[in-house]
Amino acid sequence: MKIAIVKYNAGNVCSVDFALQRMGVIASITANAEEILSADKVIFPGVGSANAAMQYLADKRLDKVIKQLQQPVLGICLGMQLLCDYSEEGDTPCLGIFKQRVRKFSSAVKVPQVGWNTISALNTPLFKNINEEAYMYFVHSYYVEKNEYTIAETEYDTIYSAAMQKDNFYAVQFHPEKSGEIGQKVLENFIQL
């Protein structure tokens, strides 16, 4: 099985690769369009600024590649946000897979949200054998409201999407690669889709 991790200027690519290696899965870290398009599964991670990331994706034409993908795709953290229509971070038009806006947490809470949070209302095979109220590790200042694509939710300032799915596109706001055994199980479930 060929697993491609999309390489672009938004961190955490190596930590995702290490998490896969711990599972015995060898992935290719690549910005090559053909390699991404021909992979059996694609992981689209991200940590950083939406505006800079989208500019880089557009410059490398990876924005068009990601929109064409037919195989299972997993967006992680910023990767999830970039799969939406628009981000308030830097007033950024994004990829438009999920017809949602990415919003900044209110000034009533500390941002970024950093730490462990429970996820609930788990849906789809991505969460097979994962219990309600399982803890995942989050680091982010922006979020996507609960919506028709939500397959897991969590709460920080408001109830929001911890994970979403539309067709072959899955996305998680938390970092499975930093969420211990439960996060590892999410990655395993994705690989087995």
Q: pLDDT (tens digit, 9 = 90+) per residue, 9-47? A: 877 799 999 999 999 999 999 999 999 999 999 999 988
Of 10-19, 47-56, 98-107, 183-192, least confident by mean pLDDT is 10-19
DSSP string, the chain: --EEEE--SSS-HHHHHHHHHHTT--EEEE--HHHHHH-SEEEE---S-HHHHHHHHHHTTHHHHHHH--S-EEEETHHHHHTEEEETTTTEE---SEEEEEEEPPTTS-SSEEEEEEEBS--SGGGTT--TTEEEEEEESEEEB--TTEEEEEEESEEEEEEEEETTEEEESS-GGGSHHHHHHHHHHHHT-
* Whether pTM exceeds 0.85: yes
Q: pLDDT (tens digit, 9 = 90+) per residue, 133-175? A: 999 999 999 999 999 999 999 999 999 999 999 999 999 999 9
Q: Where are the domains of the chain?
A: 3-191
CATH topology of domain 3-191: Rossmann fold (3.40.50)
Reply yes or no on whether the pLDDT at 93 is more than 80: yes
Q: pLDDT (tens digit, 9 = 90+) per residue, 173-182? A: 999 999 999 9
Catalytic residues: 77, 175, 177
Question: What pLDDT does residue 9 have?
Answer: 82
